[in-house]
Amino acid sequence: MDIMDNIASKIIIFLSSAAIAVSCEDIVMQPDRQDYEETVDEIIEDEEKVIPEPRKEYPKVDGIAPVSGEPLAAVLDGGLTPLSFGQSLRTYIAGCRFSETSDECPDLFCLSVGGAAETAFYLCSYLHSTEDGSPVYGEPVPVAFHWDADETNVRVIGLDGKLYAVVLNRDRADFYTWSETEKAFSQSPEHSVALSGIDYSVFGFEVGVSGNEAAFTVVCDDGSVYLPDVGAEETLYDSANIFLGNLPYTRMYAFTIDLGTWEQKESAAPVSGEIETLVGPSGVADFRSGNVSGHIVANCLGGICYIDGTTPSVLSGMVLSSGESIDNRCWLGNLVSVDRGGECADFFTSGEGISYLYRFSGNFTASGAPVYETPVPVMMSSGDLFAGTFSVPNVVDWDLDNVLDIVAGTSDGRIAFFRNYGTNEAPAFGAPQYLKANGREVCVRSGYYELNGPMNAAYGYVSPVVFDWNQDGVPDILYSSNATRIELLLNNGRDDIDCLKAAKVIRLDGLDLWGRWKVRPAVTKAGEDIYIAILDEDDALHLYKKGSLTNVKNCGKIQLGDGMYITGHRPLGPGASATEQGDAKLQFADWDGDGDPDLLVGVTEVASWPSELDGIPYSLGTRNMQVMILENISDDGGFVFDYPRLFQFHQGDIWLGPGAKAPAMCELGDSKRGTNMVVGADDGKFYFFARHDLSEKRIW
Amino acid sequence: MSTKDWTQQSQPEQIAESTELIYMPQGFTYFEDKAAGKKGYLFGNKFKSMKFASADNPSIVEFLTDGAGESLTNPCLINRMMTIHNPKTGDRTDFITSGEGAFYLYRFTGSYDENGAPLYYPPEDFLAKNSPLYGGSLVVPTVVDWDSDGVLDIISGNSEGRIAFFKNYATNASPAFGEAEYLMSCGEEVQFCAGYFEVQGPDDGGAWGYVCPNVIDWDGDGILDIVTSSNSTRVEVMLGTGSGTADCLGPRMTITLNGGELWGMWRVRPAVTEIDGEIYMAFMDTEDALHLYKKTSLTSVEDCGQLRMTDGNIMTGHRAIEEATSTLGERGRAKLEFADWDGDGVIDLIIGTSKQGSFPNPDYGLPYHASGIRSFNVIYLRNAGTNENMVFEYPKQFKFLDRQVNLGSHAQSPCICNLGDTSFGPNLLVGCESGRFYFYSHKDLHF
């Protein structure tokens, strides 16, 4: 008897370890097939429908033609944009003072460090606040200073009617006086106080002046070595995914300086023990409201806690009035409280990304921690577009009003939308809005497990590409991040901001598509097929074809015309770890207008394309734009590329910082001479380059 | 092969050019639609993916889709696939999948998609009469009144990564549970899956989720919520929306501790309880030690320190590393439950573990050092302190009517329940690797 004939009366199912025979009579089938068919048809029909809500009309404003070689400027509302400083990477608000013109919000002293810029100090004058309470500052005024430019532990305080910049380390506190007329701090400290008792590195401090004493509160780490001693190719985690290094806990110290003798009154003493749960100390600020006093302590992960003045070893979590925990949204470098003549309850945060003002609600939690309103971003007028560092822009018509907008990923893991209220030729961008999925701001982060360790948990490095993946007429988003996997955010078409569905993982035969981290995938449509390129586990360009909504098919590694694979890294060795692999921003773009998708690639300064040994830009040994074009030289509409050519501006190299650049071809500005380019950079700005100002440097 | 003498008649021949038909193949079966004259092959893999290759050109493999562009995904990993031969038509179009989970039937629609792959209706469960309740494998139950009808139901995670709701249509004393209904979040079925990055590698992480939910009104709005971990290790909460349908959960939100995500050991069911209006959670921390946290906001907790025994020592859950035959992946896995087992008004701790678990320490902990045979791996830690200041006695291992009970090698998942006769105290429901839920009366459990 044909064994298959036996199936009708008996179903024999072989499991991996046992055989079970089940008779048909024992199997109860689902409801009627017709009912099921109808149900399924309804489901398919519903899913096919995307009925976008009618688009809201926004009033047009006069925009500004972008300037080639410069970051795109904010135009709307007088150029209102989050506070940022040139090409710097991080901001430390060092102090504040109320001017004679306003007691609503103070002026700010800000230190800007890192990135492609030199360390700088600025005075930002408060202008006004927006409707939602965001303080707005004028153009930053450079302030001259003469202490070590690497020093970030700086606090500006008022003392006997004078302003001082206090620069603190374990051994010394230097007091530099302020000159209002010169907008400068003194060349040498007016007072220099030797210190003792601070056992570990200083990460932040607060100074409270009372009578003839300056009370210092200092947060330090615990001296532990963070990174484990592992090889360049080894992971930082054990096989249970537990970090092998040491998470640095916070220690808090206190001491006073006699302002008459300018001497430390007593050796600094630890006041908090080891605050075991607050890893990665970054800042401390006084809190005083009525009879309640204590300290607000923050870590670099964006966590903010409260220590009551009477029980300094007890850490209380802080919350917002909404009940949500305080999440500073970006890497937090510093806290500064706002002293309103003794009441010291509001505070600013700053770090890598947007600075925020937290306003005290007047309430306390059951455990005595102050409760705050939802923080508002610190803004400036007439500034550059800014939403966070390491921007990854897409210049697309996101809101389907036939004008190009910008959708950009940031290092803090959020996706910003800059609506264009002008035209493509003269865009008028406003302050960023952050895209949401199911009512919650999209925030992509690797979390505890990150290639550089848990202390990078404040970062996401989300690298989005905007593309209509399901071809329903509304743009969707695919992205990678420091979590590496490729994910899809479908656009439900019903809103411009809260329009995304929960993320779906893109898979290869069911397993999440994996490769190297922090890569913006390149996506394009060729014929009827959609293709996606990433850097695979070999850090080589790899092509996949969309097979279904969430599955792709392997099309193999992408090759150069001579058949060579294309990798992006330099050789591993001293100073070159595996974590520098990946970190490239790809874009399929028909740069030469021949109908075939070329590849724009933005990389870090240590990347090496297309091969380890003599690839660029690393082998060039010079600072450059770190944006390349790989021309598609396929004869049959495929994906075969020429050796990379490095972009230059005005026939020369420009440098926008060591991090990965994110190029995006665009038709902003004057595009009559060809499509232009916007490049996202370390400082988060969007640098516009007119086509005719760009040239391609051939190496091979 | 000859069916006369059962000998091989020809040498194997590669019929498809590509060797990359499907990643990690497990299931394979033949397809034939006689009326349409189509023949081909169906493939399935451990990552629940299914594909079709036409016999005309088996080198080209297409995903099985739902007709709307989304590939069909089997609810659980696929070990085997088999088409059903229709003796009347000769067709072999409908097929069955099996793996670690339920059997599923895929009925052919009679149509093909634009790529020529056959289209199937969504999978149907195979049901059986008079069968024990089944929730997929490695079930992790919680007995709660999920739908607020005054009667206790079961919410259960499983190894697939899904969360099932078993509605009780009768009473607590004599329950009558319905089929599993899988919960959804924002219109999509909840599916936990660590993916490529998992403690035991992509092979494991791509196939499983090991979701370990507990249930509590986390945000105090009167609607029950889910607090869970999985093979992704992080602790997440999904707020109940009170919709009254399967799509009743909000988006997944990660629980944080001072800005960073709360981290510990994988596949641990957090224990949750309310004490004096505050919500507390116990989890296994990065030392694989029992650790207490207190909810401070919707998505954050504060550290209340490692839980201690009466002798002051912390409590870890693993055996000595020298004895561990696998990677550190055998750590974690514990299923924690706060419960006042002895009725003294103070919350105790009940822990389900695998045979390799060793509470409270590697040297002489339970159940690993209890005996050499598989046993009922549920242990009880009596709280000798107070709810506000928990201090635990040395663990005791449950016994059922003085006999050994073998519920399998994977961690068993206990939860207290007030089903059945509760006159002796709360009873115990234990989920195990077979996907069954074992009920134990309080009076039948000893130490």
Q: For A436-550, where are the E strands, in sequence order?
A: 436-437, 440-441, 463-467, 476-480, 487-489, 498-500, 504-505, 507-508, 511-512, 522-526, 529-535, 541-546
Q: What is the pLDDT, as a whole number, of residue B325?
A: 63
| The pLDDT of residue A525 is above 90 | yes
* Residue whose C-alpha is closest to residue B416's, from B430, B396, B398: B430
Residues, chain A: 700
User: Per-residue pLDDT averaged across A269-298, rounded?
Assistant: 87
CA angle B264, B267, B268 (to 5 degrees): 65
Q: What percent of chain A has pLDDT over 70?
A: 92
Contact between A304 and B259 using a beta-carbon 8 Å cutoff: yes
Which residues 259-318 on chain B approach chain A with CB closer than 8 angstroms? 259-261, 263, 265-266, 286, 288, 296-303
Mutate to test the interface with A, among B297, B304, B333 (most CBs of A within 10 A): B297
- Residues of chain A in contact with residue B70, where contact means CB-CB under 8 angstroms, are 548-550
The distance of B173 to chain A (nearest Cα, Å) reads: 28
- Can you tell me whether residue A454 is helix, strand or coil? helix
- Can you tell me whether residue A200 is helix, strand or coil? coil
User: Per-residue pLDDT averaged across A479-500, rounded?
Assistant: 96
Rg of chain A in Å (alpha carbons): 28
Average pLDDT, chain B: 92
ipTM of the complex: 0.91
Contact between A551 and B49 using a beta-carbon 8 Å cutoff: yes
Q: What is the pLDDT of residues A327-340, one digit of tens each?
A: 888 888 899 999 99
Q: Which residue of B has its CA nearest to A28?
A: B127
Tokens found for residue A538: 């070999």
Contact between B107 and A36 using a beta-carbon 8 Å cutoff: yes
Mutate to test the interface with B, among A33, A42, A325 (most CBs of B within 10 A): A325
Tokens found for residue A358: 């937290």
Tokens found for residue A300: 């670099």
Q: What is the pLDDT of residues B261-279, one digit of tens each?
A: 999 999 999 999 999 999 9
Q: How far apart are CA A349 and CA B150, in angstroms?
A: 48
| The pLDDT of residue A671 is above 70 | yes
Q: How far apart are CA A607 and CA A582, in angstroms?
A: 9
| The pLDDT of residue A2 is above 50 | no
The distance of A387 to chain B (nearest Cα, Å) reads: 20
Which residues 115-144 on chain B approach chain A with CB closer than 8 angstroms? 121-122, 124-129
Contact between A37 and B121 using a beta-carbon 8 Å cutoff: yes
Tokens found for residue A32: 């009627």
β B391-392/B308-309 pair status: parallel
Q: How far apart are CA B271 and CA B142, in angstroms?
A: 11
Touching check for B189 and chain A: CB below 8 Å? no
**For B261, which of A457, A501, A510 is closest by C-beta distance?**
A457
User: Per-residue pLDDT averaged across A76-87, rounded?
Assistant: 95
Contact between A303 and B260 using a beta-carbon 8 Å cutoff: yes
Q: Residue written as tokens 């690993």?
A: B368
Q: How far apart are CA A21 and CA A11, in angstroms?
A: 6
The distance of B284 to chain A (nearest Cα, Å) reads: 12
Containing A426, the helix (H) or strand (E) segment is none
Q: Residue written as tokens 């498809």?
A: B16
Alpha-carbon distance values, A445 to A281, A331, B241, B244 (Å): 20, 12, 26, 32
* Amino acid in the structure at residue A354: I
What's the pTM? 0.91
Cross-strand pairs, A516: none
* Residue whose C-alpha is closest to residue A51's, from A491, A493, A497, A495: A493
Burial of A314 (0-12, 13-18, 19+ CB in 10 A): middle
- Can you tell me whether residue A455 is helix, strand or coil? helix
DSSP state letters, A177-197: EEETTTTEE-SS-SEEEE---
| The pLDDT of residue A39 is above 80 | no
Tokens found for residue B6: 């059962």
**For A438, which of B124, B251, B257 is closest by C-beta distance?**
B251
Mutate to test the interface with B, among A236, A511, A554, A557 (most CBs of B within 10 A): A511
* Residue whose C-alpha is closest to residue A497's, from A549, A430, A546: A430
- The answer to whether B227 and B272 have CB atoms below 8 angstroms apart is yes
The distance of B185 to chain A (nearest Cα, Å) reads: 9
Q: Which residue of B has its CA nearest to A445?
A: B261
The distance of A272 to chain B (nearest Cα, Å) reads: 16
| The pLDDT of residue B401 is above 70 | yes
CA atoms within 13 A on the CB side of B68: 14
Q: What is the pLDDT, as a whole number, of residue A32?
A: 42
Containing A150, the helix (H) or strand (E) segment is none
- Residues of chain B in contact with residue A511, where contact means CB-CB under 8 angstroms, are 23-24, 47, 195-196, 202, 206
Contact between B186 and A240 using a beta-carbon 8 Å cutoff: no
Cross-strand pairs, A316: A306
Burial of A525 (0-12, 13-18, 19+ CB in 10 A): middle
**For B85, which of A5, A277, A328 is closest by C-beta distance?**
A5
The distance of A24 to chain B (nearest Cα, Å) reads: 10
The distance of A620 to chain B (nearest Cα, Å) reads: 35
Q: What count of CB pairs under 8 Å joins A to B?
A: 227
Contact between B263 and A502 using a beta-carbon 8 Å cutoff: no
Alpha-carbon distance values, A246 to A222, A236, A242, A447, B67 (Å): 10, 11, 11, 16, 51
Q: How far apart are CA A447 and CA A458, in angstroms?
A: 7
- The answer to whether A659 and A390 have CB atoms below 8 angstroms apart is yes
User: Per-residue pLDDT averaged across A313-336, rounded?
Assistant: 85
Q: Which residue of A has its CA nearest to B186?
A: A438
Touching check for B322 and chain A: CB below 8 Å? no
The distance of A403 to chain B (nearest Cα, Å) reads: 30
Q: Residue written as tokens 């001479």?
A: A673
**For B257, which of A277, A304, A470 is closest by C-beta distance?**
A277
Average pLDDT, chain A: 89
The distance of B311 to chain A (nearest Cα, Å) reads: 22
Query: SS3 breakdown of chain A: % helix, strand, coil, rounded to 5?
Result: 5, 45, 50
Q: What is the pLDDT of residues A472-481, one digit of tens each?
A: 999 999 999 9
- Can you tell me whether residue A504 is helix, strand or coil? strand
Residues 6+ apart with CB under 8 A from A195: A168, A170, A171, A172, A173, A255, A264, A268
Cis peptide before A658 (omega within 30 of 0): no
User: Between residues A396 and A278, which one has the greater pLDDT?
Assistant: A396
Mutate to test the interface with A, among B30, B296, B300 (most CBs of A within 10 A): B296
Q: What percent of chain B has pLDDT over 90?
A: 76
CA angle A236, A239, A242 (to 5 degrees): 55
**For B196, which of A8, A26, A511 is closest by C-beta distance?**
A511
Question: What string of H, E and C letters represents the secondary structure of chain B?
Answer: CCCCCCCCCCCCCCCCCCCCCCCCEEEEEEEEECCCCEEEEEEEECCCEEEEEECCCCCCEEECECCCCCECECCCCCCEEEEEECCCCCCEEEEEEECCCCCEEECEEEEECCCCCEEECCCEECEECCCCCCCCCCCEEEEECCCCCCCCEEEEECCCCCEEEEEECCCCCCCCEEEEEECEECCEECCCCCCCCCCCCHHHHCCCCCCEEEEECCCCCCCCEEEEECCCCCCEEECECCCCCCEEECCCEECEECCEECCCCCCCECEEEEECCEEEEEEECCCCEEEEEEEEECCEEEEEEECEECCCCECECCCCHHHCCCCHHHCCCCEEEEECCCCCCCCEEEEECCCCCEECCCCCCEECCCCCCCCCCEEEECECCCCCCCEECCCEECEECCECCCCCCCCCEEEEECCCCCCCCCEEEEECCCCCEEEECHHHEEC
Q: How far apart are CA A678 and CA A67, in angstroms?
A: 11
Residues 6+ apart with CB under 8 A from A123: A107, A108, A109, A110, A140, A141, A143, A183
Torsion, CA B403, CA B409, CA B413, CA B416, rounded to 10: 0
Cross-strand pairs, B128: A27
Containing A22, the helix (H) or strand (E) segment is strand A19-23
User: Between residues A691 and A365, which one has the greater pLDDT?
Assistant: A691
- The answer to whether A111 and A123 have CB atoms below 8 angstroms apart is no
Greatest mean pLDDT range, A327-341, A502-516, B368-382: A502-516
Q: What is the pLDDT, as a whole number, of residue B326?
A: 61
Greatest mean pLDDT range, A297-311, A443-457, B245-259, B383-397: B383-397
Q: How far apart are CA A555 and CA B95, in angstroms?
A: 29
Alpha-carbon distance values, A607 to A116, A472, A521, A664, B207 (Å): 17, 37, 17, 19, 34
Contact between B70 and A550 using a beta-carbon 8 Å cutoff: yes
Cis peptide before A610 (omega within 30 of 0): yes
Touching check for B28 and chain A: CB below 8 Å? no
Q: What is the pLDDT, as a whole number, of residue B374?
A: 58
Q: Residue written as tokens 């209904």?
A: B181
* Amino acid in the structure at residue A394: N
Touching check for B45 and chain A: CB below 8 Å? yes
Mutate to test the interface with A, among B258, B302, B333, B409 (most CBs of A within 10 A): B258
| The pLDDT of residue A4 is above 70 | no
Contact between B22 and A509 using a beta-carbon 8 Å cutoff: yes
Q: Which residue of A has its CA nearest to B329?
A: A240
Q: Residue written as tokens 């605050």?
A: A275
Q: How far apart are CA A130 and CA A49, in angstroms?
A: 40
Q: Which of A139-143, A618-622, B323-327, B443-447 has the lowest mean pLDDT?
A: B323-327
- Residues of chain A in contact with residue B298, where contact means CB-CB under 8 angstroms, are 323-325
Contact between B45 and A509 using a beta-carbon 8 Å cutoff: yes
